[in-house]
């Protein structure tokens, strides 16, 4: 294959493999910013060479090997320079060079298991706690997702210049803070892993519920997050929260097609047409959740959230939902990861499990939570519980309060419709 | 975007599939799973090994046992979740290429079809 087809193959393979290429180059160089540059050089080499010489038999391996060679060359050149500057002792660069040269022997075996470790190093670096959360999300989309700056901007609904700044600032921070391209030490692992999972979770939610504007959801961002969750689940198969997060996202994503109607208006979970839920993702979600539950340990936040999502996914109809089970899972979640939002969800479950009075009490207790001030879901849940109790006029008023608070236009329309329906 | 790739064999050498092919297929499967692209996969037994066929023709339903003399037998399917048709074709190409590398004389094809995804309900 040569010519335009070869160029197209180069672009496709680059998009599929850029995370691995960046990861391998970054490990040789010990630096993600340099690693990304070298990876880009390898891609440019493919664009130059494949159309005339033909696509190599193993295009992905070619990209990785080429980037590795380029990175080793760079280390060698720098090392020579460093030696000339200081002709005493072994420098850090020399030590790194030894490692790099040893690897030069197995360059043809490019798609070997080391790439998995390099990808892990990459994700722990782009999600490093020294970076702000928004920088972590942008840099991770860029380097792990292989998205262009334009695509990162589109995904996060931010101007392209802002996306570019976030990415370059993140790389600068990693350099100035001296973050090494290494796997976390055992004692750092819980915090570092938490930081990674938070990024994946936020990325998914950003796509799942657009907080403002006319678009209810941005599925591409959800898909990027799921891709990352699957990667992590494959690389860290005995980390319970990693599997649990993957399960949670597969289960949430199974409902993507059912969450909006033709006009783009949101359809709440209990009103969704369950035939539109994606059975393949439900099956994947419940299966990875079983693997997580089989690992020893106490209940953890993602594990409980995934278990709740599975309760919904496995109920044949909304009426058959196991609300007592969901209420007890929320109670457990409120213990391990207390938050007003969890309490709000517990109020719904308790109400649906047959005790709207207690549900309402939970909501009333949240009235003073500063983080929920102006949060439209508080009056919306209150309205729902009031409706269950037959207090229709109060329910109507609460729905209208909620509609005034939300910035999401389709959601506001739904809440006003609910208010209208409460009149009867 | 979701695609199904079905692998059909048109000429299979008399030798059993080499161990190296099976290893390479397992390694590619792991790689595709890790990347998040491979979401479902299965190998299929020949129709003659206990399958069958249900036919509707001329208004009559018939159920028949195999074996059927097929010019191209379906031997596996894989479901990929990817960002483009090109990516799905690249995964299928990698899979077929393994047969080229490890099993001389094998001939067949992978058909890649996009899974229909319903637009939001009216």
Task: Give me the mean pLDDT over the A254-283 stretch.
Answer: 89
CB–CB of A110/A68 below 8 Å?
Answer: yes
Which residue of chain B has the CA closest to A273?
Answer: B121
Long-range contacts of A343-350 (CB under 8 A, 24+ apart): A344/A372, A344/A377, A344/A378, A344/A381, A347/A381, A347/A385, A348/A381, A348/A384, A348/A385, A349/A323
- Max CA separation in chain A (angstroms): 88
Closest-CA distance, A356 to chain B, in angstroms, reads: 31
Query: Sorting pLDDT into bands at 50, 70 and 90, what band is A278?
Result: very high
Closest-CA distance, A102 to chain B, in angstroms, reads: 24
Query: Residues of chain B with pLDDT > 90: what percent?
Result: 75
Report the alpha-carbon distance of residue A53 to residue A40 in Å, rounded.
Answer: 20
> Higher model confidence: residue A103 or residue A298?
A298
Which residue of chain A has the CA closest to B87?
Answer: A12
Residue A125, pLDDT > 60, answer: yes
Q: Is A7's Cβ below 8 Å from some Cβ in B?
A: no
> Higher model confidence: residue A284 or residue A422?
A284
Closest-CA distance, A208 to chain B, in angstroms, reads: 15
Strand order in the sheet with B2-11: B38-43, B73-81, B2-11, B107-114
Query: Residues of chain A with pLDDT > 90: what percent?
Result: 75
Report the alpha-carbon distance of residue A61 to residue A65 in Å, rounded.
Answer: 6
CB–CB of A310/A284 below 8 Å?
Answer: no
> Higher model confidence: residue A78 or residue B54?
B54
CB–CB of A123/A232 below 8 Å?
Answer: yes
Q: What is the pLDDT of residue A113?
A: 60
Report the alpha-carbon distance of residue A18 to residue A112 in Å, rounded.
Answer: 16
**Is A12 close to B86, i.e. CB distance below 8 A?**
yes
Query: Sorting pLDDT into bands at 50, 70 and 90, what band is A284?
Result: very high
**Is B36 close to A231, i.e. CB distance below 8 A?**
yes
Q: Is A257's Cβ below 8 Å from some Cβ in B?
A: yes
Which residue of chain A has the CA closest to B31?
Answer: A111
Long-range contacts of A290-294 (CB under 8 A, 24+ apart): A291/A237, A291/A243, A292/A240, A292/A241, A292/A243, A292/A244, A292/A247
Collapsing DSSP to helix, strand or coil, B107 comes out as: strand
Q: What is the pLDDT of residue A314?
A: 95
> What pLDDT, in 10s, does the model give residues A192-239?
999 999 999 999 998 887 544 455 557 889 999 999 999 999 999 999
Alpha helices per DSSP H over A337-391? 340-352, 356-365, 377-388
Residue A140, pLDDT > 90, answer: yes
Query: Sorting pLDDT into bands at 50, 70 and 90, what band is A267?
Result: confident
Residue A135, pLDDT > 70, answer: yes
| Nearest by CB: B121 against A116, A227, A262 | A262
Residues of B in contact with A260 (CB under 8 A): 120
Residue A104, pLDDT > 60, answer: no
Q: What is the pLDDT of residue B122?
A: 43
Q: Token digits for A406?
A: 């939300």
Query: Sorting pLDDT into bands at 50, 70 and 90, what band is A112?
Result: low
Residue A406, pLDDT > 80, answer: yes
> What pLDDT, in 10s, does the model give residues A34-54?
999 999 999 999 999 999 999
Please provide the average confidence, as pLDDT, over all residues in chain B. Answer: 91
Q: What is the pLDDT of residue A260?
A: 81
Residues 48-107 of A with CB under 8 A from B: 57, 60
Collapsing DSSP to helix, strand or coil, B96 comes out as: helix
Predicted ipTM of the assembly: 0.91
Query: Sorting pLDDT into bands at 50, 70 and 90, what band is A170?
Result: very high
> Higher model confidence: residue B120 or residue A379?
A379
| Nearest by CB: B36 against A12, A60, A227 | A227
Residues of A in contact with B36 (CB under 8 A): 226-231
CB–CB of A71/A29 below 8 Å?
Answer: yes
Task: Give me the mean pLDDT over the A276-280 stretch.
Answer: 95
Which residue of chain B has the CA closest to A264?
Answer: B120
Task: Give me the mean pLDDT over the A137-166 stretch.
Answer: 92
Collapsing DSSP to helix, strand or coil, A86 comes out as: coil
Chain B residues bordering chain A (beta-carbon distance below 8 Å): 27, 30-31, 33-37, 39-40, 79, 81, 83-84, 86-87, 89-90, 94, 97, 101, 117-122
Residue A111, pLDDT > 60, answer: no
Report the alpha-carbon distance of residue A34 to residue A70 in Å, rounded.
Answer: 11
**Is A234 close to B87, i.e. CB distance below 8 A?**
no
Report the alpha-carbon distance of residue A261 to residue A263 in Å, rounded.
Answer: 5
Query: Sorting pLDDT into bands at 50, 70 and 90, what band is A370?
Result: confident
Residues of A in contact with B78 (CB under 8 A): none
Q: Output b/e per residue, A340-369; b: 16+ Cβ within 10 A.
A: bebbbbbbbbbbbbebbebbbebbeebeee
**CA-closest candidate to residue A247, choices A321, A331, A322, A310:** A310
Q: Which helix (H) or strand (E) is B9 found in, with range?
A: strand B2-11
Residues of A in contact with B83 (CB under 8 A): 15, 223
């Amino acid at each position: 294959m040569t010519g335009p087809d070869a160029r197209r193959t180069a672009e496709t393979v680059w998009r599929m493999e850029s995370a691995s290429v960046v990861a391998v180059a970054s490990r040789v160089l010990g630096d993600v910013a340099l690693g990304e540059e070298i990876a880009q050089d390898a891609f440019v080499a493919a664009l130059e060479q494949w159309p005339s010489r033909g696509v190599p038999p193993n295009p992905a391996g070619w990209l990785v090997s080429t980037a590795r060679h380029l990175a080793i060359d760079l280390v060698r050149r720098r090392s020579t320079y460093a030696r000339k500057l200081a002709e005493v002792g072994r420098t850090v660069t020399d030590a790194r060079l030894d490692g790099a040269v040893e690897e030069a022997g197995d360059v043809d075996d490019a798609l070997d298991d080391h790439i998995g470790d390099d990808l892990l190093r990459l994700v722990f670096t782009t999600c490093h706690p020294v970076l702000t959360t928004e920088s972590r999300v942008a840099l991770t989309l860029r380097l792990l997702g292989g998205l262009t700056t334009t695509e990162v901007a589109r995904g996060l609904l931010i101007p392209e210049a802002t996306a570019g700044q976030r990415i370059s600032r993140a790389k600068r921070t990693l350099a100035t803070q001296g973050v090494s391209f290494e796997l976390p030490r055992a004692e750092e692992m819980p915090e570092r892993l938490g930081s990674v999972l938070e990024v994946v979770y936020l990325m998914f939610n950003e796509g799942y519920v657009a907080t403002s504007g006319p678009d209810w959801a941005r599925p591409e961002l959800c898909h990027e997050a799921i891709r990352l969750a699957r990667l992590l689940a494959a690389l860290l198969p005995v980390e319970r929260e990693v599997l649990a997060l993957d399960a949670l996202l597969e289960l949430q994503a199974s409902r993507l097609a059912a969450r909006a109607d033709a006009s783009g208006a949101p359809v709440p979970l209990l009103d969704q047409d369950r035939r539109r839920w994606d059975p393949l993702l439900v099956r994947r979600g419940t299966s990875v959740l079983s693997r997580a539950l089989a690992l020893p340990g106490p209940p953890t936040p993602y594990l409980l959230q995934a278990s709740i999502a599975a309760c919904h996914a496995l109920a044949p109809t909304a009426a058959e939902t196991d609300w007592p089970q969901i209420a007890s899972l929320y109670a457990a979640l409120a213990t391990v990861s207390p938050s007003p939002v969890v309490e709000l969800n517990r109020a719904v479950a308790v109400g649906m499990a047959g005790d709207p009075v207690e549900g309402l009490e939970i909501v009333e207790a949240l009235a003073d939570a500063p983080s929920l001030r102006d949060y439209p879901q508080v009056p919306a849940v209150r309205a729902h519980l009031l409706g269950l109790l037959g207090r229709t006029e109060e329910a109507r008023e609460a729905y209208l309060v909620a509609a005034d608070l939300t910035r999401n236009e389709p959601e506001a329309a739904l809440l006003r419709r609910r208010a209208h329906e409460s009149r009867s | 975007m979701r695609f199904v790739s079905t692998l059909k064999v048109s000429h299979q050498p008399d030798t059993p599939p080499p161990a190296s092919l099976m290893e390479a297929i397992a390694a590619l499967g792991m790689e595709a799973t890790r990347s998040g692209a491979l979401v479902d996969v299965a190998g299929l037994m020949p129709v003659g090994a206990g399958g069958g066929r249900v036919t509707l023709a001329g208004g009559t339903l018939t159920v028949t046992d195999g074996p059927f003399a097929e010019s191209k037998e379906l031997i596996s399917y894989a479901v990929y979740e990817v960002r483009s048709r090109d990516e799905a074709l690249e995964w299928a190409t990698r899979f077929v290429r393994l047969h080229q590398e490890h099993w001389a004389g094998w001939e067949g094809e992978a058909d890649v079809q996009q899974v229909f995804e319903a637009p939001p309900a009216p």
